[in-house]
Amino acid sequence: MTRTVLVYGDSNSHGTAPMPTLLDMRRFGPDERWPGVMAAALGPGWRVIEEALPGRTTVHPDPVSGVHKNGLAVLPAVLESHHVRQGFTGPGGTAPALLVVCPPPVEEAGCLAEVFEGGAAKSRRLAPYYAEAAARWGAAFFDAGTVIGPSPVDGVHFEAADHRRLGQAIAAVVAGLTF
């Protein structure tokens, strides 16, 4: 039986490399970004679907790019298209496991400093809110800030070594969940 993991995320799940300038849009390769590292660590019998979009927000449309960046608005269509979190797709016909991952706190640095102005202090307070939301939904919770932090290059994106650490850490959590 193949177990499926849907990674629903933003630019860090997408594998956007730290950006020295706003025009530098490099992306780590499939085996370098954390979902690929997680897939390799989980091994055979697992299928990892990367559904990640740079600029995706939790609940707000992007004022420049548009409503498709609103993660909450798009999530139902993504879940339906991959048949994830449906009542019949988990073990014994139940809903599958859900893992909520809190991102590490951002730093106000480099070319993204102005965009994330005030974000460093706010993001340091997010983990308890994510944990509370996960508990409300009966989901597992993982705080990525316990194993990695953002690159000092732009204060938001992860270095390759951090993608490896995060992918391995999340694989360990996912392997222990009931699918």
Better pLDDT: 33 or 68: 33
State whether residue 46 is helix, strand or coil.
strand
pLDDT of res. 61: 66
Distance CA 94, CA 23 (A): 45
pLDDT at residue 151 is higher than 70? yes
pLDDT at residue 46 is higher than 70? yes
Span 78-100, average pLDDT: 67
pLDDT of res. 64: 66
What CATH class has 3-175?
alpha beta
Q: What is the pLDDT of residues 47-88, one digit of tens each?
A: 999 988 887 776 666 666 767 776 666 777 677 776 675 555
Q: Assess contact for 36 and 167: CB atoms under 8 A.
A: yes
Strand stretches in 10-159, DSSP E: 46-52, 99-102, 140-143
pLDDT at residue 26 is higher than 60? yes
Looking up tokens 């997408």 gives 14
